[in-house]
Chains A and B, each alone.
Chain A
């Protein structure tokens, strides 16, 4: 039964440890940079979505507000005061009913006093956005304003929802890219190990590994040949120097 070669085993373990250290030290920065880049991409996308959604909401609410203003200004053009606008309450009630996100709409006179109001006075709707537009008559005289308060709850819910979807996608992307990185680097390290073991086996003049790196083995073969040639030359030279064959015929 052949005796186990402890030295070779130690060497193999040391090689494996060096290789796994190499594998980790290459994989870790790739995974880290990938995770940071993915995180920044999600961060940018969520920020952009937040802004775009806000702009869409603003655009819609501005339209509603402008529509209301045009409606009420028709009465103001006839010379009515703000408090005398008979259709105002119905108009703001209609708009508030049409959009459940509207917390309140108030029509203010030129002193800022509330002339008409719909919705909840105390919002209780969490964060809100306020929009305001001035009203004037056909002579250009400022007559008051319309104020609209809109709940951000649906906006926040939308963002939380889409944010969690994107974070989940990011997590999947990071896990997938990490798995690919680990796999790819393992294959890469295996290739390096094959090259090194081809060299080692050839230097040891042992049996070649299963899939040898021919280029590396060829170089190691040259090293062996050159070393053997040199050692033989040295040996011959030593014999020549120490022998009594002074004429050097033995060389």
Chain B
């Protein structure tokens, strides 16, 4: 980092560290206080249990003593105590001591250890008015601490989520208000210092320093222009003088740069960062219900127990229970897949702001309806409407990135957009799960609706309908696959349908990847974990693992793919890993094995997602020359989305037929099978040099 970059990069870094440390310290301090308070206040409650136990057991022992059995000769006391401890895990030990304090009988919980960790309650054992011994009942102080600290995962998630959200908002605010203007000022100064006096449009109107620098460049440029006029005014009849003027100007142009220059990338970043926070908000609103939507759908259809338990339930009487649970998810994904091309075109026509607001309002209405009308049919309809709204918001954001970037910085703009989506993928299901456990499903939908409404209001404030004349908008890409055939060539669909390698890549890798993502992660994981008695918070945490894997490993695998030209290898390995990760469930359903499946899916998709797009470009080089890459990518994306829409309904049918555990194994087998077929198909079609490594995969 140069000295000049340090002028803005270091303060930004310091600001982020300060803000994140402040948030971290506040929450950690509050959590520690809450836990200490809880331990302090709950311990007497545990003591009451010990007193009740002591009172009851001493009554029994007193009765035995009344029968004349000496304390030392009571039979079966240790076994009886062990039985009591077994039924009361919050008790640490039971002990009887004689009048001198020597222990006669005792039983402890297997994991009890240090004596100072126990709260001891003692009751005298009385015979004929005289104390002959003492019964001690101990409770483990750490029991309360352990119970309270079960919250640490939830608190950790709140912490992580708040840090990520704070990071997103700060990035938005700091980029707009500080980084971009400051970077522009510093860049301007560096250019002037190096003799570049070209004038550029200002990022922030009215910034004093920027205006002053602009004044400097204007002054120098005016001087140069005046010089040009004077040089031009040199008499034509005096060639020696003209030559001298020419030489002088040439020399000056060699040393300095004058005139005007286009805006630099900072203006672009300023605009694109607007869309990052909007992308984050709409994804956050939508994904809140991920940990419980299938379970909620099943409960509304009256098929809850049969979905979680076995395959045969058919609560609504018309469709099997698994299918009923999957239909709202399918409705959403189908809404997204089918409306996206039209949404893109509409967004192009009415402007990004209008289309984003329309989408956000549709999502708000859909989520609010889901929360307010607990009727199965309404849920399916509301989810479909939410899917259309989601498509509108997605295409508006993506379109905004395309409008404000060009080929030189589009990848950077898309990375900002996708980064926000991945952050939401991590935060939202976890937060949704925690909230669902505390406030119930319906209020979580209402909360999601409120977030979507905030997104709409923010869009009113920060977006505009101005559209740059971009060569290829996402809508053009998404819709070109269906466009009327150009006279010079066939329809894109027919051209691509004849490309066997493209078909293999789409149908054996792209579609299965999205099919498994929606069928397994969105539909089956909540259902399966719910049947294993996991809380919604736990389901949210497990689901979060997918986003974390993708975010952490995606860039690493993308670099590896570039470095070793291992695109096909990564696509194939990712598919195999995803499938293999779902098979161990055959040993018996457990939360750990479901988590293994989620992690395998996350790692597998991190391997294959970016590599798939590179392979699409490689195997369609011929078609791309005629059609352009847009329609090809559009077709690939459409197939993927249809695969995603098919995932829940097909998995629902598997659940209905075989139960959730076997359905997961079947998905794993499907993933493995399609990946093996993909390898075979690519090996078969490896006639181009760039695919040779694909065959080796």
Residues of A within 8 A of B (CB): 11, 14-15, 18, 21-22, 25-26, 29-30, 33-34, 36-38, 40-45, 47-49, 52-53, 55-57, 59-60, 63-64, 66-67, 98-99, 158, 162, 165-166, 169-170, 173-174, 176-177, 180-181, 184-185, 188, 191-192, 195-196, 199-200, 203, 213, 215-216, 218-220, 222-223, 225-227, 230-231, 233-235, 237-238, 240-242, 246, 248, 251
In the complex, the chain B residue whose C-beta lies closest to that of A67 is B56
Which residue from B48, B223, B247 sits with its C-beta under 8 Å from A234? B223
Contacts of A44 in B (CB 8 A): 151, 154-155, 158, 434, 438
Which residue from A174, A230, A242 sits with its C-beta under 8 Å from B220? A230
Give A41 to B226 CA distance when docked, in angstroms: 67
Give A222 to B191 CA distance when docked, in angstroms: 10
Give A173 to B24 CA distance when docked, in angstroms: 12
Query: Contact at A63–B212, with CB atoms within 8 Å?
Result: no
A53-B42, A166-B37 known; A195 and B7 CB under 8 Å?
yes
Task: Indicate whether B45 reaches chain A with its CB closer than 8 angstroms.
Answer: yes
Contacts of A34 in B (CB 8 A): 22-23, 26, 162, 166
Query: Contact at A37–B159, with CB atoms within 8 Å?
Result: yes
User: Do most interface residues of chain B lie in helix, strand or loop, or is the interface mixed?
Assistant: helix
Query: Contact at A63–B56, with CB atoms within 8 Å?
Result: yes
Residues of B within 8 A of A (CB): 3-4, 6-7, 11, 14-15, 18-19, 22-23, 25-27, 29-31, 33-35, 37-38, 41-42, 45-46, 48-49, 52-53, 55-56, 87-88, 90, 144, 147-148, 150-151, 154-155, 158-159, 161-162, 165-166, 169-170, 173-174, 177-178, 182, 185-186, 189-190, 192-195, 197, 206-209, 212-213, 216, 219-220, 223-224, 226-227, 230-231, 234, 238, 240-241, 244-245, 247-249, 251-252, 255-256, 434, 437-438
Number of A-B contacts (CB under 8 A): 236
In the complex, the chain A residue whose C-beta lies closest to that of B53 is A63
Query: Contact at B19–A241, with CB atoms within 8 Å?
Result: no
CB distance from A222 to the nearest CB of B (A): 4
Query: Contact at A25–B177, with CB atoms within 8 Å?
Result: yes
Query: Contact at B38–A64, with CB atoms within 8 Å?
Result: no
CB distance from A176 to the nearest CB of B (A): 7
Give A14 to B158 CA distance when docked, in angstroms: 39
In the complex, the chain A residue whose C-beta lies closest to that of B167 is A33
Query: Contact at A49–B42, with CB atoms within 8 Å?
Result: yes
Contacts of A240 in B (CB 8 A): 244, 248
Which residue from B3, B240, B255 sits with its C-beta under 8 Å from A246? B240
Contacts of A30 in B (CB 8 A): 19, 22-23, 166, 170
In the complex, the chain A residue whose C-beta lies closest to that of B87 is A66
Which residue from A45, A67, A170, A181 sits with its C-beta under 8 Å from B22? A181
CB distance from B353 to the nearest CB of A (A): 21
Query: Contact at A33–B23, with CB atoms within 8 Å?
Result: yes
In the complex, the chain A residue whose C-beta lies closest to that of B170 is A29
CB distance from A231 to the nearest CB of B (A): 6
16 residue pairs from A and B, CB less than 8 Å apart: A11-B208, A14-B208, A26-B170, A26-B178, A33-B166, A37-B23, A37-B26, A37-B158, A38-B27, A38-B30, A41-B158, A44-B154, A48-B154, A53-B45, A219-B7, A241-B248
Give A57 to B46 CA distance when docked, in angstroms: 8
Which residue from A63, A213, A238 sits with its C-beta under 8 Å from B226? A238
Query: Contact at A188–B18, with CB atoms within 8 Å?
Result: yes
Contacts of A246 in B (CB 8 A): 238, 240-241, 244
Which residue from A29, A49, A173, A225 sits with its C-beta under 8 Å from B30? A173
In the complex, the chain B residue whose C-beta lies closest to that of A35 is B26
Give A29 to B206 CA distance when docked, in angstroms: 25
Complex A-B, nearest 4 residue pairs according to Cβ-Cβ distance, in ascending order: A37-B162, A222-B193, A234-B223, A45-B34
Contacts of A192 in B (CB 8 A): 11, 178, 182
Give A40 to B212 CA distance when docked, in angstroms: 47
Query: Contact at B148–A237, with CB atoms within 8 Å?
Result: no
Contacts of A213 in B (CB 8 A): 7
Query: Contact at B14–A177, with CB atoms within 8 Å?
Result: no
A52-B144, A227-B220, A234-B252 known; A29 and B173 CB under 8 Å?
yes
